[in-house]
Chain A
Amino acid sequence: MEHFIETIGRNLFAIFGVLALAGAVIVVGSRSAVHSVLAFLFAMLCIAGCFLSLEAEFLGMAQILVYAGGIVVLFLFVVMLVEVTKAKEKEVFQLQSRYAIGLVAIGALLFTAIFRQTLFGAASPSALVLRPELAQGLKVAEQNAQAVSRGLFADYLLPFEILSVVLLVALVGAVVLAKTERV
Chain B
Amino acid sequence: MVNLNAVLLVSFLLFSIGIVGVLIRRNALVILMCVELMLNAANLNFIAFARHSGSVSGQAFALLVMGFAAAEVAVGLALVVALYRKRDTVQVDDINLLKG
Contacts and interface: CB of A to CB of B under 8 A. Distances in A.
- Interface SS of chain A: helix
Contacts of B57: 151, 155-156
B48 A27 contact: no
A134 interface: no
Interface string B68-100: 111111110111111011001111010000000
Given A14-B6, A27-B33, A173-B75, A59 B70 contact: no
- Range of interface residues on chain B? 35 or more
Contacts, number: 232
B85 A180 contact: yes
B56 A177 contact: no
- Interface SS of chain B: helix
Interface string B13-36: 110111111011111011011101
Interface in A46-71: 47, 50-51, 53-56, 58-59, 62-63, 66-67, 70-71
A170 interface: yes
Interface of B: 1-10, 12-14, 16-21, 23-27, 29-30, 32-34, 36-37, 40, 43-44, 47-48, 50-54, 56-57, 59-64, 66-75, 77-82, 84-85, 88-91, 93
Task: Give the 3 A-B residue pairs with the shortest CB-CB distance, closest first.
Answer: A128-B54, A170-B71, A151-B60
